[in-house]
Amino acid sequence: MQSFRTEIENPIVQKDILELEAKIRQFKEGNLDGDKFRSLRLARGVYGQRQEGVQMIRIKLPYGKVTSNQLRRISDVADEYSTGRLHITTRQDIQIHYVDLDRTPELWAQLEKDAVTLREACGNTVRNVTASETAGIDVAEPFDVSPYAQGVFEYFLRNPVGQEMGRKFKVSFSSSDSDTGLSYMHDLGFIAKFENGVRGFKVMLGGGLGSQPRHADVLFDFLASDKIIPLMEGVIRVFDRYGERKSRAKARMKFLLKDLGLEGFKNLLEAEQKAIPHSSFPIDLTAYPAIRIADVEAPNVQITNQDAFEKWKASNLVPQKQDGFFAIGIKVLLGDFYTDKARLLADLVEQFAAGEVRLTLRQNILIPFVKDALLPFFFQELEKLGFAEAGYNKALDITACPGTDTCNLGIASSTGIAAELERVIKAEYPQYITNPDVVIKISGCMNACGQHNMANIGFQGMSIRTKDKLVAPALQVLLGGGNMGNGEGRFADKVIKVPAKRGPAALRLILNDFDTNGKGLSYADYYAQQGQLYFYDFLKPLSEVENLTPDDFIDWGNTKKYEQAIGIGECAGVVIDLIATLLFESEEKIDLAQETWEAGKWAASIYHSYSSMVNSAKALLTSENTKTNTHASIITDFDEKFIASGRMHLNRGFEDLVLQLNKNEPTQAFAKDYLEDAKKFLQSVEAYRKQELVEA
């Protein structure tokens, strides 16, 4: 594992990777608490799999943009460290599976050679910044949102304000009012707008999916583009301090916004403004890489299957705003493709297009900047790769998370039923192969990684019990969701639960009814017209469990009898002194505050000092079995239990001390003074803890 140490040019990245290597060693030696190690590795894209002893690696690819060089690099890594399979996620990432934990630092170092990172791809961080895959080519867009998505990605990568939040934070950019970035279901969603000649965005706040989906609120109808990064920093600061940390089920932004109300949230946001280092942060558009289109003549091609070519053109081409160019959509079954084809695709787009692809929110691939004259050639070449199937972004194009294949949380197979439903559509409903108005999505559990609860037709993996206590795989059928545009969306209703093997029968009944009675309406509008009970009534016979056959107890894509189980988690090693661990982390944060202060990064230093103080207070509260659900409650409870009671003396209240954070501008002088305060506070806490242990 030593070779990669000398190959990393960026010292910040090198430090990150070496830290991961050191923490893996500490964990395996029993010197690092399992929960703390889990938090660290997740923030570095290393995620435990259902299968014991191997990891899923999530590669962070902002707004799904992948250059030819990066795709080749990812392919090399997947062959060397994994199985050669690449999985596209609904957040425009790539995942590879079955990776040995010990090899993850080396894997990361190899990716960084082509500026590909794992950092903050998982964990309680700012996750991958997603965007419309048509950004930059969309005929309806007021401007290209790609540089803004890139700017947000760069600003918040390794930014201390977003490293250890209560839960993950998701951001999207939509190119136009069609809202193809799905702003209404994100923590922060930005929809491109022009107002009085100024570039800006409609801003949506507090959306989310999961078991309790919430529609985002409109925070601003228009916000100038130079204000989006300062706004996002303020939102994250509020979320970090007031967001739930104990109960994961309540730890998302949507629950905080529900509790505070929009006006209450705005008040807290206003209180943070002085602490934010930039009141304006323009994105340098000139720094964004220019498109370089290959200058080649169209090869002479003879299309042998003209009918297939015409169907492909009708369903897989996206007109661009640039005259003479099309984007080509590649339908990727279940989001899975392999490195041999990935390399050939990288070569193809480098030699004949713009040297990049976009991964899409529906787990597909989009090739932008293909000249009109090259379409026959591309069809021929993509057909050789198995990438010319009709149905891109159509009803046939079903989205599905990995489910029970690899995910710890999977309850029922999502990939197995997705493959079967696609087979049914091809064989029995060919008219839906090119139908763009019916969206089908599947998740293996309630967490909605497959986005099932915003689909026209959604399925969620569950289990079902018979009177004899036998357990079979099941699917919750959800209907009526959809994207209405401009930040408006509908979440699907839970209609009925059926045994998983009856999923195809449920789809047949739904499509037959729509074909007979839809009368030109979109599926979302048809569902709204008919109502939930209408669909429940004709699907109800499928829900009966008294007549299950042995086949019903075998999930799709499996041969063995179904067992409801989650995957095996990582071993925590030995029992660790949690208080000592927290105080050690506080020391590490002090070191980071000192480093960033010396580097002239005052705002970062201040936030590290803040994190150290709150963490130290949490250590003492934990020793008293006091709940530490939010930073705000830690600050209040520490004042009450340790300062007001006279057990510790600070010459001021702890709240006054720690919340200097948002009462001062992030200057060099304040950063230095605040760092000294954090050092003294940690010393006081450590002295108190030492005395406490002596007296125990």
Give mean pLDDT, residues 244-273.
Answer: 93
Question: Does residue 42 surpass a pLDDT of 70?
Answer: yes
Question: Does residue 5 surpass a pLDDT of 70?
Answer: no
Q: Which two tokens stand for residue 130?
A: 């997603």
Give the model's pLDDT for residue 434. Answer: 87
Cα-only R_g, the chain: 26
Give mean pLDDT, residues 448-462.
Answer: 93
Give mean pLDDT, residues 252-279.
Answer: 96
The CA-based dihedral angle spanning residues 58, 69, 180, 445, taken in that order and rounded to the nearest 10 degrees: -20
Give the model's pLDDT for residue 691. Answer: 86
* The listed CATH number (3.10.20.30, 3.90.480.20, 3.40.50.720, 3.30.160.20) that belongs to domain 3-112: 3.90.480.20
Give the model's pLDDT for residue 4. Answer: 54
Identify any residues that bridge with 337 across adjacent strands, giving them in sequence order: 86
* Amino acid present at 176: S
> Count of CB atoms within 10 A of residue 199's CB?
18
Cβ atoms of 604 and 221 within 8 Å: the answer is no
- Residues 333 and 382: their CA atoms lie apart, in Å, by 15
Give the model's pLDDT for residue 574. Answer: 31
- pLDDT tens-place string over residues 366-413: 999 999 999 999 999 999 999 999 999 999 999 999 888 888 788 989
Confidence of residue 633 (pLDDT cuts 50, 70, 90): very high
For 540, 543, 551, the CA distances from 477, given in Å and listed in that order, are 11, 10, 20
For 62, 196, 207, the CA distances from 224, given in Å and listed in that order, are 22, 11, 21
Average per-residue pLDDT for the chain: 92
**Nearest residue to 282 (alpha-carbon basis) of 225, 235, 223, 230:** 225
Give the model's pLDDT for residue 206. Answer: 97
Share of the chain above pLDDT 70, in %: 97
> Count of CB atoms within 10 A of residue 408's CB?
17
Give the model's pLDDT for residue 425. Answer: 95
Residue extent(s) of CATH 3.90.480.20 domains in the chain: 3-112
Q: Is 343 exposed, middle or buried (0-12, 13-18, 19+ CB in 10 A)?
A: middle
Helix (H) or strand (E) holding 681: helix 668-695
Q: What is the DSSP string of 606-659?
A: HHHHHHHHHHHHHHHHHHTT----SHHHHHHHHIIIIITTSSS--SS-HHHHHG
Lowest mean pLDDT, pick from 39-43, 587-591, 629-633: 39-43
Give the three-state DSSP class for 117: strand
Cβ atoms of 520 and 212 within 8 Å: the answer is no
- pLDDT tens-place string over residues 69-87: 999 999 999 999 999 999 9
Helix (H) or strand (E) holding 370: strand 365-371
Cβ atoms of 364 and 332 within 8 Å: the answer is yes
Give mean pLDDT, residues 535-539.
Answer: 96
Give the model's pLDDT for residue 570. Answer: 32
- Residues 427 and 504: their CA atoms lie apart, in Å, by 12
Lowest mean pLDDT, pick from 6-20, 159-173, 330-344, 570-584: 570-584
- Residues 428 and 182: their CA atoms lie apart, in Å, by 31
Lowest mean pLDDT, pick from 107-111, 478-482, 494-498, 581-585: 581-585
Give mean pLDDT, residues 317-321.
Answer: 97
- Residues 446 and 444: their CA atoms lie apart, in Å, by 7
Residue extent(s) of CATH 3.30.413.10 domains in the chain: 130-287, 399-553
- Residue in the block written with tokens 């090899």: 103
Give mean pLDDT, residues 590-603.
Answer: 96
Q: Could you give phi then psi for residue 273, rounded to 5 degrees? A: -60, -40
- pLDDT tens-place string over residues 326-340: 999 999 999 999 999
- pLDDT tens-place string over residues 163-212: 989 999 999 999 999 999 999 999 999 999 999 999 999 999 999 998 89
Identify any residues that bridge with 325 across adjacent strands, giving them in sequence order: 371
Question: Does residue 318 surpass a pLDDT of 90?
Answer: yes
Exposure of 418 in the CB half-sphere (CA atoms within 13 A): 31
Give the model's pLDDT for residue 3. Answer: 52
Give the three-state DSSP class for 266: helix
- Residues 482 and 453: their CA atoms lie apart, in Å, by 9
Cβ atoms of 35 and 572 within 8 Å: the answer is yes
Question: Does residue 576 surpass a pLDDT of 60?
Answer: no
- Residues 1 and 508: their CA atoms lie apart, in Å, by 53
Confidence of residue 575 (pLDDT cuts 50, 70, 90): very low
Range 306-331+343-384: architecture per CATH: 2-Layer Sandwich (3.30)
- Residues 275 and 273: their CA atoms lie apart, in Å, by 5
Give the model's pLDDT for residue 577. Answer: 58
Identify any residues that bridge with 459 across adjacent strands, giving them in sequence order: 442, 477
**The domain 130-287 belongs to what CATH superfamily?**
Sulfite Reductase Hemoprotein, domain 1 (3.30.413.10)
- List of residues 6+ apart from 527 with CB closer than 8 A: 456, 479, 480, 493, 535
**The domain 578-695 belongs to what CATH superfamily?**
Nucleotidyltransferases  domain 2 (1.20.120.330)
Q: Which residue has the higher pLDDT, 35 or 270?
A: 270
Instruction: Indicate the pTM of the whole model.
Output: 0.92
Give the model's pLDDT for residue 565. Answer: 63
Question: Does residue 516 surpass a pLDDT of 50?
Answer: yes
Give the model's pLDDT for residue 8. Answer: 65
- Identify the CATH number of the domain defined by range 399-553: 3.30.413.10
